[in-house]
Amino acid sequence: MLRLYFFISLMCLVKSDTDETCPSFTRLSFHSAVVGTGLNVKLMLYTRRNQTCAQVINSTVLGNLNVTKKTTFIVHGFRPTGSAPVWMEDLVQGLLYVEDMNVVVVDWNRGATTVIYNHASSKTRKVAGVLKKFIDQMLVQGASLDDIYMIGVSLGAHIAGFVGKMYNGQLGRITGLDPAGPLFNGRPPEERLDPGDAQFVDVIHSDIDALGYKEPLGNIDFYPNGGLDQPGCPKTILGGLRYFKCDHQRSVYLYLSSLRENCSITAYPCDSYRDYRNGKCVNCGIPQKESCPLLGYYADNWKEYLKQKDPPMTKAFFDTAKEEPYCIYHYFVDIITWNKNIRRGSMTIKLRDRAGNITESRINHEPAVFQKYHQVSLLARFNQDLDKVATISLVFSTGSVIGPKYKLRILRMKLRSLAHPERPQLCRYDLVLMENIETVFQPILCPKLLM
Ligand SMILES: *[C@@H]1O[C@H](CO)[C@@H](O)[C@H](O)[C@H]1NC(C)=O
Ligand SMILES: *[C@@H]1O[C@H](CO)[C@@H](O)[C@H](O)[C@H]1NC(C)=O
Ligand SMILES: *[C@@H]1O[C@H](CO)[C@@H](O)[C@H](O)[C@H]1NC(C)=O
Ligand SMILES: *[C@@H]1O[C@H](CO)[C@@H](O)[C@H](O)[C@H]1NC(C)=O
Ligand SMILES: *[C@@H]1O[C@H](CO)[C@@H](O)[C@H](O)[C@H]1NC(C)=O
């Protein structure tokens, strides 16, 4: 009992202590969401000098904001329960880690918190108005629009777009993280985020069949895993609350991963996800990656290249792993067969290195067609990048349960890394795969082509 009492008083102490010195994101109860909240926008400034303790600022008091530096605004979206966004702190810290800048958290939780989405949506123009007033003051103090960057999540992406329109597209950059779809889908450019809203607009679409926006909205639109279902997210309502927000939130986590140093995600400009899966869009030019932008914070390194296009809009696709770090490693598996008849089926490829690490890729999104003496290039995607492959295994399957078991007669198979084209290519000649039976072999170095 006494212990409990101490614990409670300690908690009160900690709470009141932080309340006094460090302002925090507005936290509301579900009750507020039910009765609705009036709009109140709070701006919280974080800098490298004041990294964990925010300073509340407004259009009359800019506080420690240094107008000669870049300023990044983070604008959240609809908050159906009143809670604070779980990713906010990581995003603030991640941005300050990569660059010495001002980070302003735009806390419009009073306004975004309501169970009725339309009510939150109807406040987006007003939030944009508050930000306009604040930025005007920054400009008076000597800031440049070039240095203003807005990251908008869901409804926040359209808010960023509305601010950008008020400056005729002169803001430095806007990043839209799964811009909200409902009530915005199909709207004209004046009523949503649009490529003309900033000098560079990049967008990640991770939930185009539910909460996100389907069509392109920026100079570059990234569609992870095709933009639909994200790996690792619950597929049914049995997954609970995560079922509703996991795909939508993935855009934020993918962006966050670009601020860390674990892996960088390359995206492949392409007309469709299907073409990307079929390996039609993975040639990025020389030097490697010249035409394939990185996802996230560093996407603006491709700004000049992307803006040359007419119209200046590019769709880019890539697949991800189901958890951090999200990147996967692409390889081409080139296969030449010599069966008399055409064979159609899927292929599973496993790589094993000398240390015993194993990584697997299933190529089964659509049947590969193997025709005598024609080379088929399958795009394989692995979760691990094994540098020294010791053995390869292949399983061929036609997917039919009944009927005869087929053989696939391989004249030559070749494995080549896309991320590291300089690595030696691995080959194997004369193999016969029995359907659904794993064939394990040691590859040899492919002979170098004489140029
Ligand atoms: C950090 O912010 C707090 C509260 O907003 C302020 O009292 C303090 O002076 C700031 N520290 C620095 C180094 O600017
Ligand atoms: C800005 O903040 C200061 C100090 O926190 C406060 O006195 C002032 O009324 C605020 N101005 C506006 C326009 O909210
Ligand atoms: C503002 O930033 C510039 C460099 O970006 C720096 O030279 C200057 O000292 C900073 N001002 C303050 C008051 O910290
Ligand atoms: C990713 O890198 C960051 C540091 O940049 C580290 O703190 C984090 O633990 C890493 N995460 C994973 C899953 O490796
Ligand atoms: C492979 O295995 C070794 C030893 O078990 C481990 O240290 C390493 O991180 C693994 N992963 C890769 C990608 O090599």
pLDDT given for residue 365 in this prediction: 84
Beta carbon of 262 within 6 Å of any ligand 4 atom:
yes
Assign 223 a pLDDT band (cuts: 50, 70, 90): very high
Percent of the chain with pLDDT over 70: 93
Question: Is the predicted pLDDT of residue 226 greater than 70, yes or no?
Answer: yes
Q: Give the β-pairing of 343-353 and 444-445.
A: unpaired
Question: Is the predicted pLDDT of residue 281 greater than 60, yes or no?
Answer: yes
Beta carbon of 369 within 6 Å of any ligand 2 atom:
no
Ligand nearest to the CA of 68: 3
- If you measure from the C-alpha of residue 41 to the centroid of ligand 1, how many angstroms do you get, rounded to a whole number? 21
Q: Cis omega (within 30 of 0) on the bond before 311?
A: yes
Assign 38 a pLDDT band (cuts: 50, 70, 90): confident
Domains of the chain: 18-318 (3.40.50.1820), 329-444 (2.60.60.20)
Assign 85 a pLDDT band (cuts: 50, 70, 90): very high
Across 80-107, average pLDDT: 94
Active site residue 119: no
Percent of the chain with pLDDT over 90: 72
Assign 288 a pLDDT band (cuts: 50, 70, 90): low
Whole-angstrom Cα distance, residue 27 to residue 359? Answer: 43
- Asked whether the beta carbons of 323 and 232 are under 8 A apart, the reply is yes
Q: Which two tokens stand for residue 4?
A: 């409990």
Assign 3 a pLDDT band (cuts: 50, 70, 90): very low
Q: Which two tokens stand for residue 98?
A: 């990569």
Beta carbon of 66 within 6 Å of any ligand 3 atom:
yes
> Residue 451 CB: number of other CB atoms within 10 A?
3
What is the strand order of the sheet 268-269 is part of? Answer: 55-57, 40-46, 102-108, 71-75, 148-153, 173-177, 201-204, 220-224, 314-318, 268-269
Assign 409 a pLDDT band (cuts: 50, 70, 90): very high
Closest C-alpha residue for ligand 5 atom 10:
357
pLDDT given for residue 335 in this prediction: 95
Of 94, 88, 352, 328, nearest to 231 (Cα)? 328
Beta carbon of 132 within 6 Å of any ligand 4 atom:
no
Across 331-343, average pLDDT: 93
With left for phi above 0 and alpha for psi between -120 and 50, is residue 193 left, alpha or beta?
beta
Assign 1 a pLDDT band (cuts: 50, 70, 90): very low
Q: Which two tokens stand for residue 184?
A: 């915005």
pLDDT given for residue 451 in this prediction: 43
Is residue 242 a known part of a binding site? no
Active site residue 248: yes
pLDDT given for residue 66 in this prediction: 97
Classify residue 69 as exposed, middle or buried by CB count within 10 Å of its CB (0-12, 13-18, 19+). Answer: middle
3-state secondary structure the chain: CHHHHHHHHHHHHHHHHHHHHCCCCCCCCHHHHHHCCCCEEEEEEECCCCCCCCEEECCCCCCCCCCCCCEEEEECCCECCCCCCCCHHHHHHHHHHHCCCEEEEEEEHHHHECCCHHHHHCCHHHHHHHHHHHHHHHHHCCCCHHHEEEEEECHHHHHHHHHHHHCCCCCCEEEEECCECCCCCCCCHHHCCCHHHCCCEEEECCCCCCCECCCCCCCEEEEEHHHCCCCCCCCCHHHCHHHHHHHHHHHHHHHHHCCCCCCCCECEECCCHHHHHCCCCCCCCCCCCCCCCECCHHHHHHHHHHHCCCCCCEEEEECCCCCCCCCCEEEEEEEEECCCCCEEEEEEEEEEECCCCEEEEEEEEEEEEECECCEEEEEEEECCCCCCEEEEEEEEECCCCCCCCCEEEEEEEEEEECCCCCCCCEEEEEEEEECCCCEEECCEECCCCCC
Q: How far is CA 102 from CA 125, 270, 299, 449, in A?
A: 24, 35, 20, 53
Among 82-86, 117-121, 445-449, top mean pLDDT goes to 82-86
Assign 111 a pLDDT band (cuts: 50, 70, 90): confident
Ligand nearest to the CA of 262: 4
Whole-angstrom Cα distance, residue 323 to residue 301? Answer: 26
pLDDT given for residue 289 in this prediction: 64
- If you measure from the C-alpha of residue 70 to the centroid of ligand 3, how many angstroms do you get, rounded to a whole number? 11
Ligand nearest to the CA of 44: 1
Is residue 310 a known part of a binding site? no
Mean pLDDT, rounded, of the chain = 89
pLDDT given for residue 119 in this prediction: 83
Question: Which pTM was predicted?
Answer: 0.89
Closest C-alpha residue for ligand 4 atom 3:
260
Beta carbon of 355 within 6 Å of any ligand 5 atom:
yes
Is residue 194 a known part of a binding site? yes
Angle, CA of 220, 233 and 205, to the nearest 5°: 15
Question: Is the predicted pLDDT of residue 18 greater than 80, yes or no?
Answer: no
Lowest mean pLDDT among 123-137, 241-255, 328-342: 241-255
pLDDT given for residue 44 in this prediction: 97
Amino acid residing at 408: L
Question: Is the predicted pLDDT of residue 97 greater than 50, yes or no?
Answer: yes
